[in-house]
């Protein structure tokens, strides 16, 4: 049997050493990568967007697409889900979709169900949260006869074209028996009170609301002191709801989530997908 030469032995030794060096280096880099990933995840969880830094964040987790992060935020008993970009510079509200499959991704991040000892029976008066009772006291035009827990409250400015779109898109839901209370508020600047006052003070509020929101006519009335106070109350509630959780925008819907029994608000709720999320059908 021929023994290998000393040169061959040295070459084999060098090859083995290089292999072991590559292997150990790969293990070190892999461990370093895992450490950096963990640090990045921890940093992501610890550093919400500046607008949410002082808010009560109930939960935050990655959406899994587009680099978005979902933030479930509670403020004054109301819950809202916002979506932030990875650079923490943009917040998005509303329904988000998988652009390839059409899946409603927002369903994954809906508020958690109420605890077992918390009643979520919308028919029981004791189950109506204080926020819904407060909304029920605001002045507006009611469509349908449901109690506060089953009524969708929509703050709108009669001059807002998106609000007009929302009104048209809700006609089928009202016809199906859903209840909506329209709360006029002059949130788009001065000059809107006479139009909003006509909706609240007119002898036929529903007909006037329909005429304004469909563009059939734009009646105006000088607001009485009580009407001015009512419009101010609607406006104050609207802006307080957005304090610290995003830029105010109309229309905004406030409703009791039928899946969880908790109050929710949805800004910009004018498209069919948002309405399906609100009404559940």
Digit-coded pLDDT (tens) for 61-89: 888 888 888 888 876 666 788 888 888 88
Would you state the pLDDT for residue 238?
96
Return phi, psi of residue 59, to 5°: -165, 145
Bridge pairing between strands 179-184 and 141-143: antiparallel
Distance set, CA 232 to CA 11, 157, 187, 196 (Å): 88, 12, 10, 11
* Residue ranges of the chain with per-residue pLDDT less than 70: 1-46, 75-78, 110-127, 281
Would you state the pLDDT for residue 83?
85
CB 241 within 8 A of CB 78: yes
| CATH fold label, 50-109 | Nuclear Transport Factor 2; Chain: A, (3.10.450)
Give me the chain's average pLDDT, please: 80
- For CATH 3.40.30.10, the residue range(s) in the chain are 125-279
Q: Which residues of 180-217 are buried (b: 16+ CB within 10 A; e: fewer)?
A: bbbbbbbbeeeebbebbbbbbbbeebeebbbbbbeeee
Whole-prediction pTM value?
0.63
Would you state the pLDDT for residue 227?
97
Residue with tokens 């990875």: 86
| CATH class of the domain comprising 125-279 | alpha beta
Would you state the pLDDT for residue 47?
80
Would you state the pLDDT for residue 230?
97
- For CATH 3.10.450, the residue range(s) in the chain are 50-109
pLDDT in tens, 250-275: 999 999 988 888 899 999 888 898 99
Would you state the pLDDT for residue 228?
97
């Amino acid at each position: 049997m021929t023994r290998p030469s000393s040169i061959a032995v040295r070459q084999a030794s060098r090859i083995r050493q290089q292999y072991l060096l590559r292997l150990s280096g790969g293990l070190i880099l892999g461990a370093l990568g895992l450490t950096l990933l963990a640090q990045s995840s921890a940093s992501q969880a610890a550093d919400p967007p500046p607008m949410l830094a002082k808010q009560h964040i109930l939960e935050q987790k990655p959406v899994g697409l587009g680099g978005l992060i979902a933030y479930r935020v509670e403020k004054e008993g109301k819950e809202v889900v916002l979506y932030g970009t990875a650079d923490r510079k943009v917040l998005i509200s509303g329904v988000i979709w998988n652009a390839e499959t059409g899946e409603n991704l927002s369903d994954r991040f809906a508020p958690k169900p109420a605890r077992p000892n918390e009643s979520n029976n919308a028919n029981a008066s004791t189950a109506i949260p204080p926020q819904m009772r407060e909304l029920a006291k605001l002045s507006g035009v009611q469509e349908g006869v449901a109690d506060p827990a089953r009524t969708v409250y929509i703050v709108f400015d009669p001059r807002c074209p998106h609000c007009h779109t929302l009104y048209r898109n809700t006609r089928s839901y009202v016809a199906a028996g859903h209840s909506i209370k329209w709360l006029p508020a002059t949130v788009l600047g001065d000059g809107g009170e006479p139009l909003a006052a006509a909706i609240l003070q007119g002898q036929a509020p529903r007909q006037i609301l329909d005429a304004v929101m469909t563009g059939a006519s734009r009646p105006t009335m000088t607001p009485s002191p009580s009407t001015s106070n009512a419009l101010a109350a609607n406006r104050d509630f609207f802006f307080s709801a957005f304090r610290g959780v995003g830029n105010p925008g109309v229309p905004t819907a406030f409703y009791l989530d039928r899946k969880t029994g908790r109050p929710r608000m949805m800004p910009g709720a004018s498209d069919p997908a948002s309405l399906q999320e609100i009404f559940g059908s």
